[in-house]
Structure 1
Amino acid sequence: MKYLQLFGRLKSTVIGMVHLRALPGTPNGGSPVQQILEEACREGELYKKAGIDGVIVENMHDIPYSLCPGPEITAAMATICAAVRQACPGLPLGVQILACANQQALAVALAAGLDFIRAEGFVFSHIADEGLVNACAGDLLRYRKAIGAEHIQIFTDIKKKHSSHAVTADVSVSETAKAAEFFLSDGVILTGSATGQEADPRELQGVQRAVHIPVLVGSGVTEDNVEKFIEANGLIIGSHFKDGGDWRNGVNYDKVISFMDKVRRLRE
């Protein structure tokens, strides 16, 4: 399995988030790209030193998000991700570009030598806080094929957080996961309703029964509740690893160390 080859384990893979400062052209932007790059590399190095299993670089501070971020975002992300790749050799790295800029993320991953992307809106349309998001699986996988990036894995959100799914209320999260598997997702990501909100452990179990691809939990995992999610293939953690549990803050190395110590005990 590609997931095992990448991370070296099939369960309880821990993936930390590097939330970049606001990039050029965004409302809160203003920092030079070089400064943002250096901070991202520092956080990547902290994660690697703490023994984490992987990292995702994301433009989280680029609020409010656009469904069509400009070329300046793609260029900055490629430059920063290439630097993080160099700073963290051997560490599995991914990228997400908000919002729903999945083809751009693939292009960045290919250019920067990354291993995977996190993609939104893979199957089924929904209304996000950025606007209408339409399914992209067909176009995205054709693009991956066209640019020779088939070695880059695509992990896909299902029933994405910060979104209304009323239009697909008759489609359960397990059925959504099955559709993503049918449309060749490399793994599905289950979240709570918003950043930092805990996912439903019962939904996790249902999705795990429904599909034969990796199932990751993408929000709300903490040292206090990790027992509920330890059987997931992956745990994507942002807020809990930051000072004060707030995604806006920097990575707290001691919190990462403490979390990884507990995860290792649970794995045993």
Structure 2
Amino acid sequence: MANWLDSVFKVNKPVIAMLHLSALPGDPGFDSAAGVRAVVERAKSELGALQEGGVDGIMISNEFSLPYLTATEPITAITMARVVGELLNEISVPYGVNVLWDGRASIDLAVATGAQYVREIFTGVYASDFGLWNTNIGEVARHRARVGGKDVKLFFNIVPESAKYLADRDLKSITETTVFATLPDAICVSGLTAGAATDVQALTTVKNAAGSVPVFVNTGVRAHNVGEQLTIADGAIVGTYFKQDGVFENRADRTRVEELMGAARDFRATLG
């Protein structure tokens, strides 16, 4: 395990739970009658279910800001900062943030709220459901330094959801050059959408090519396959499985969290 994972999570092969925020002001689905207070109250309830269920960390994201922007409006990160601020006294595990799909805004939010890590699409050019999707990791890395975020760890999603890499390059080559040229703190491997299975061969390819950089399985982890996935990966990020009935739109269900985390602990026990 990489040293920074050890120091942050203090457990082998950590499982990070997604805390999906309801639609926010400016989003098409925002409930203006209920207001931001309803967003905060739901987030508090789900945070309780996740932490009491035994997760190793959380990642707070604006998952219901559909359809997503690749350059968000200021109101999104501003509202998320309020929500995270109201959760801070109740957060008892390492936490990160993710402003979909905006790397700079994610870093700004992390610095403002004391989050230890962010996850985003930091490299590549894609044809996506959101249009042509470009990135500039050199600019983002310099922005992180300017705003005092040098200690914020960057999770690079190397297989973006709902998008296809435009260059004709294989996954092994993409991983090798990403590690060498763009300095990720961790790499995430995803399926097609939230909750979709991550291809085991793709995960293995990235892990073998990533060297000492930790690799996380980013979607499709379930109680029955968490051991298989963690045999390959250095950690997992889980969202949909933790929801009631495993349905993306539902709230986190403590029973399902306990089920998966129990399976993860059983697997870790085999590692010694």
Q: SS of the counterpart of 1:68?
A: coil
Q: Which residue of 2 aligns with 1:80?
A: 83
Q: Distance in 1 between matches of 2:128 and 2:71?
A: 14
Query: What's the Cα RMSD here?
Result: 1.3
Gaps of 5+ in 2: none
Q: Distance in 2 between matches of 1:139 and 1:10?
A: 33
Residue aligning to 1:198? 197
Distance 1:179 1:95 in 2: 26
Deviation at 1:52, TM superposition (A): 0.6
- Is residue 47 of structure 1 aligned with residue 50 of structure 2? yes
What SS does structure 2 have at the residue aligned with 1:117? strand
Question: Is residue 62 of structure 1 aligned with residue 65 of structure 2?
Answer: yes
Matches of 2:79 and 2:205 in 1, distance apart? 39
CA distance in 2, matches of 1:97, 1:207: 24
Q: Distance in 2 between matches of 1:179 and 1:123?
A: 10
Structure 1 position 42, deviation (Å): 2.0
- Match for 1:174 among 167, 172, 176? 172
Map residues 231-242 of structure 1 onto 2, 5 A cutoff: 231=231, 232-242=233-243
Any conservation in 2 of the 1:242–1:250 contact (CA below 8 Å)?
yes
Q: Per-residue deviation at 1:10?
A: 4.2
Counterpart of 1:215 in structure 2 is 215
Aligned to 1:6: 8
Q: Is the 8 A contact 2:171 2:202 kept in 1?
A: yes
C-alpha contact (below 8 Å) 1:85/1:93 kept by paired residues: no
- Contact map agreement 1:85 1:113 (CA 8 A) in 2: no
Q: Is the 8 A contact 2:24 2:65 kept in 1?
A: yes
**Deviation, structure 1 residue 240:** 0.6
Specify the code of the residue in structure 1 equivalent to 2:57.
G
Q: In structure 2, what is the equivalent of residue 261 of structure 1? A: 262
- Distance in 1 (CA, whole Å) between partners of 2:26 and 2:260 is 36
Q: Structure 1 residue 107 and structure 2 residue 108: aligned?
A: yes
How far off is 1:123 after superposition? Answer: 1.7
Classify the secondary structure of the residue corresponding to 1:84: helix
Determine what percentage of the aligned residue pairs are the same residue. 28
Counterpart residue type for residue 266 of structure 1: F
Q: Give the structure 1 partner of residue 36 of structure 2.
A: 33
Kindly provide the amino acid, as one letter, of the partner of residue 124 in structure 2.
F
Compare 148-157 and 132-141 and name the one that shifted more: 132-141
Residues 150-206 of structure 1: CA deviation (Å, up to 9, x unaligned): 1110101012111122x22x3222222222222111000001122211111122122
